[in-house]
């Protein structure tokens, strides 16, 4: 019987060759994809990747591609930098650019936008896979596109049992016959791509709950997979201060630990367990470098002058009443905030933001500015004396206390400007009159963003209704982990149009840098829940960030989503399986 089976397998070996076919229906969808699926290029183990080995950034991206092909398909390519005939070739420069330069002799070619710097082209035909890019970043984007197009070999132990068993049996049979299994079939294609928005963000609250460096790296990997380029790292809060400040060693040590945490939505019942954790500056640098290799900028946020109980616990003299203050054990907005009239407050902020700028090279630094109740300031002699010193008067539009906050913002903006940085603030920074160079993060709807764009301030759009992925994503909330409330299904995220064309002129729309999703973590305490909230809503926002509005079609998006979900299975990350 064994003999018969063996002879049968020998006869069938060529048929068993596992033809795995690429599919360019990826997320986010490239700007243009022209497929000819009557012809294929077959990529096999042993074929090469050619690239400029003298350029470490290009070499790194070639390595990424090499690794991803192997991880997902088992096809092992060779790094063959010099080989002009390699199956995959990474070539810097677009021939069309050179032509344009020649045609415009004497005239200055217009400067390329940041999006155009990210552009890439992939051509697959009988000579193989040609990747062209203006800058090394384009190779990274192209490598991600190819990665998402790859057929996934079912080898992960997380994969369904049947599929895995079948694959194992097949490879045993093939090894008996000496036949190779690999062979990736790429339909001929022309892909041209560049993103729509310059700013494509995702935020993570690591203050309400603390997440490990490894979890943050996975978050960054997922962002990079979707073409996101700005990680907004929220890491100070009433419930914990999580950034090491070397000049203030007690700050993170003590300010990061709360004695207990309320259960549910401020139920009044507490878990009785100490909770804490903070990031050393060395870890922050590690994350900055990891992100940079994936073309993601890390924007740190120190949220001030509200959301400061973590710091006030350690330095009660910085509060209007002098404390004592616990690291907060419940959720919501505390009315205990930094005292605006105490000169030590500004010294504290400059020490903290000074070290923040040392650790984070980001052009953008986030100062928070949201949800700062003014009840303490109204009754604080020091705050009121400061307001008098500054000559602040209620002008009917801006209260004295709101203007006091603007004064702090202005001081910080100047401080950051001296270090070559731009300040971002939540849209409350508009309330006391926006400082001149500030960037507004519009979260309480789109109106703050509209107002700021009309005043010719740059804007990042993160309105709760479309971008708050701490909200539930399914109507039926009972089967899901406890959340803050709300309802933001994938379809609604997908439907967001950040330029608000019916309210902003073409000129005003230029001030909208791009959209961002925010993941607040009062109720999100472990990594599986983080990724459950993120995916697949990150897929939806990535098309808002990357694709032109005329390209978008939710039904078409939904049809492309299952392949992404399969990839998440393969990568071992959790996601919400239901789509609404
Ligand atoms: C915010 O959601 N408090 C910015
Ligand atoms: Zn005060």
Angle at 252 between CA 249 and CA 256, to 5 degrees: 155
- Does residue 156 have a pLDDT over 60? no
- Does residue 175 have a pLDDT over 70? no
Instruction: Give the model's pLDDT for residue 106.
Output: 67
Q: Which residues pair with 512 in a beta bridge?
A: 459
The answer to whether the pTM exceeds 0.75 is yes
Q: Residue 518 CA: which ligand 1 atom is closest?
A: 2
Tell me if 91 sits within 8 A of 5, measured CB to CB: no
- Comparing 162 with 22, the larger pLDDT belongs to 22
118-142 pLDDT tens trace: 999 999 999 999 999 999 999 999 9
Instruction: Give the model's pLDDT for residue 479.
Output: 87
Q: Residue 464 CA: which ligand 1 atom is closest?
A: 2
Instruction: Give the model's pLDDT for residue 507.
Output: 97
37-77 pLDDT tens trace: 999 999 999 999 999 999 999 999 999 999 999 999 999 99
- Which ligand lies nearest to the CA atom of residue 380 in the structure? 2
Tell me if 80 sits within 8 A of 101, measured CB to CB: no
Instruction: Give the model's pLDDT for residue 114.
Output: 96
What is the distance in A from the centroid of ligand 1 to the CA of 282? 28
> CA-CA distance, 321 to 339, in Å (whole number)?
9
Tell me which H or E stretch contains 460: strand 459-461
Give the three-state DSSP class for 463: coil
> CA-CA distance, 236 to 305, in Å (whole number)?
11
Instruction: Give the model's pLDDT for residue 96.
Output: 81
What is the CA 273 to chain-centroid distance, rounded? 31
Instruction: Give the model's pLDDT for residue 162.
Output: 53
Provide the pLDDT confidence category of residue 169 given band limits of 50, 70 and 90: low
DSSP string, 50-110: E--TT-HHHHHHHHHHHHHHHHHH----EE-TT-TT-SEEEEES-HHHHHHHHHTTTSPPP
- Does residue 174 have a pLDDT over 60? no
Instruction: Give the model's pLDDT for residue 437.
Output: 82
Residue with tokens 């003590």: 254
Mean pLDDT of the chain: 92
Q: Residue 468 CA: which ligand 1 atom is closest?
A: 2
Q: Per-residue pLDDT averaged across 246-262, rounded?
A: 98
- Does residue 1 have a pLDDT over 50? no
384-431 pLDDT tens trace: 999 999 999 999 989 999 999 999 999 999 999 999 999 999 999 998
The closest residue, in CA terms, to atom 3 on ligand 1 is: 370
305-355 pLDDT tens trace: 999 999 999 999 999 999 999 999 999 999 999 999 999 999 999 999 999
Provide the pLDDT confidence category of residue 157 given band limits of 50, 70 and 90: very low
Instruction: Give the model's pLDDT for residue 168.
Output: 52
At residue 89, φ and ψ (nearest 5 deg) are: -125, 130
Tell me if 79 sits within 8 A of 63, measured CB to CB: yes
> CA-CA distance, 74 to 77, in Å (whole number)?
9
CATH class assigned to 201-571: alpha beta
CATH class assigned to 2-96+115-193: alpha beta
DSSP string, 108-129: PPPPPPHHHHT-EEEEEETTEE
194-211 pLDDT tens trace: 999 999 999 999 999 999
20-21/184-193 β-pairing: parallel
Provide the pLDDT confidence category of residue 160 given band limits of 50, 70 and 90: very low
Q: Per-residue pLDDT averaged across 379-385, rounded?
A: 98
> CA-CA distance, 223 to 244, in Å (whole number)?
25
- Comparing 10 with 296, the larger pLDDT belongs to 296
- Comparing 108 with 300, the larger pLDDT belongs to 300
Residue with tokens 């079609």: 553
438-449 pLDDT tens trace: 999 999 999 999
Tell me if 191 sits within 8 A of 129, measured CB to CB: no
Task: Name the burial class of residue 114, with classes exposed (0-12), middle (13-18) and buried (19+) by CB atoms within 10 angstroms of its CB.
Answer: middle
Q: Per-residue pLDDT averaged across 248-255, rounded?
A: 98
Instruction: Give the model's pLDDT for residue 330.
Output: 98
Give the three-state DSSP class for 12: helix
Tell me if 461 sits within 8 A of 449, measured CB to CB: yes
What is the distance in A from the centroid of ligand 1 to the CA of 11? 65
What is the distance in A from the centroid of ligand 2 to the CA of 391? 16
Instruction: Give the model's pLDDT for residue 154.
Output: 67
Closest by Cα among 152, 36, 164, 146 to 88: 146
Q: Per-residue pLDDT averaged across 352-381, rounded?
A: 98
Q: Identify the weakest region by mean pLDDT among 91-100, 243-252, 470-479.
A: 91-100
Q: Residue 443 CA: which ligand 1 atom is closest?
A: 4
The closest residue, in CA terms, to atom 1 on ligand 1 is: 370
Closest by Cα among 83, 315, 360, 37 to 185: 37
530-552 pLDDT tens trace: 999 999 999 999 999 999 999 99
What is the distance in A from the centroid of ligand 1 to the CA of 448? 13
Q: How many CA atoms lie within 13 A of 320 on its CB side?
A: 22
Query: Strand locations in 238-292, DSSP E?
Result: 240-241
Tell me if 371 sits within 8 A of 333, measured CB to CB: yes
> CA-CA distance, 222 to 422, in Å (whole number)?
26
Name the DSSP letter for residue 430. G
Instruction: Give residue ranges with CB within 6 A of ligand 1.
Output: 370-371, 426, 443
- Does residue 487 have a pLDDT over 80? yes
Instruction: Give the model's pLDDT for residue 211.
Output: 98
**Which residue of 426, 428, 461 sits with most ligand 1 atoms within 8 Å of its CB, as the best mutation to test the pocket?**
426
Domain extents in the chain: 2-96+115-193, 201-571
């Amino acid at each position: 019987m064994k003999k018969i089976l063996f002879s049968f397998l020998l006869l069938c070996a060529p048929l068993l060759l596992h033809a795995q076919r690429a599919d360019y229906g990826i997320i986010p969808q490239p700007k243009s994809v022209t497929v000819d699926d009557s012809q294929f290029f077959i990529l096999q183990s042993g074929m090469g990747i050619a690239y400029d080995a003298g350029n470490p950034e290009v070499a790194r991206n070639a390595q990424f591609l090499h690794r991803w092909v192997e991880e997902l398909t088992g096809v092992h390519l060779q790094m063959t930098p010099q080989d002009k005939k390699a199956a995959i070739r990474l070539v810097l420069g677009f021939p069309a650019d050179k032509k344009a330069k020649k045609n415009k002799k004497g005239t200055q070619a217009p400067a390329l936008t940041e999006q155009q710097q990210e552009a890439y082209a992939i051509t697959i035909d009988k000579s193989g896979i040609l990747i062209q890019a203006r800058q090394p970043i384009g190779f990274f984007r192209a490598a991600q596109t190819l990665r998402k197009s790859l057929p996934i070999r079912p080898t992960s132990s997380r994969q369904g049992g049947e599929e895995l068993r079948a694959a194992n049996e097949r490879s045993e049979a093939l090894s008996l016959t000496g036949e190779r299994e690999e062979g990736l079939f790429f339909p001929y294609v022309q892909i041209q791509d560049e993103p729509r928005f310059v700013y494509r963000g995702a935020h993570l609250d690591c203050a309400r709950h603390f997440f490990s460096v490894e979890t943050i790296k996975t978050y960054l990997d997922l962002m990079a997979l979707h073409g996101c380029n700005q990680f907004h790292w929220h890491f100070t809060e009433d419930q914990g201060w999580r950034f090491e400040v070397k000049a203030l060693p007690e700050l993170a040590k003590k300010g990061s630990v709360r004695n207990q945490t309320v259960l549910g939505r401020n139920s009044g019942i507490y878990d009785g367990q100490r909770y804490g954790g903070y990031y050393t500056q060395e870890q922050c640098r590690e994350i900055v470098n990891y992100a940079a290799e994936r073309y993601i900028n890390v924007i740190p946020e120190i949220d001030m002058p509200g959301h400061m109980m973590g710091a006030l616990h350690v330095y009660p003299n910085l509060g209007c009443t002098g404390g004592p203050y616990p690291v907060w054990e419940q959720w919501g907005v505390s009315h205990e905030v930094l005292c605006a009239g105490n000169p030590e407050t500004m010294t504290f902020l400059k020490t903290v933001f000074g070290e923040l700028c040392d650790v984070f090279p980001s052009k953008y630094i986030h100062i928070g500015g949201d949800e700062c109740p003014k009840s303490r300031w109204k009754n604080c002699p020091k705050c009121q004396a400061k307001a008098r010193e500054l000559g602040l008067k209620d002008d009917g539009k801006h209260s004295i206390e709101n203007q006091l906050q603007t004064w702090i913002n202005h001081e910080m903006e100047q401080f950051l400007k001296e270090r070559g940085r731009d300040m971002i603030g939540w849209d409350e920074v508009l309330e006391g009159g926006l400082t001149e160079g500030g960037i507004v993060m519009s979260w309480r709807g789109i109106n703050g963003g509209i107002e700021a764009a009309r005043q010719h301030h740059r804007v990042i759009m993160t309105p709760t209704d479309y971008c708050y992925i701490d909200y539930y994503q399914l109507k039926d909330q009972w089967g899901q982990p406890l959340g803050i409330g709300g309802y933001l299904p994938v379809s609604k995220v997908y439907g967001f149009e950040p330029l608000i064309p019916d309210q902003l002129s073409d000129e005003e729309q230029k001030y909208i840098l791009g959209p961002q999703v925010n993941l607040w973590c009062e109720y999100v305490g472990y990594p599986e829940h983080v990724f459950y909230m993120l995916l697949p809503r990150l897929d939806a926002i990535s098309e808002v960030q990357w694709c032109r509005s005329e390209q978008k079609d939710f039904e078409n998006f939904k049809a492309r989503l299952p392949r992404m979900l399969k990839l998440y299975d393969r990568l071992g990350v959790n996601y919400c399986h239901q789509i609404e």
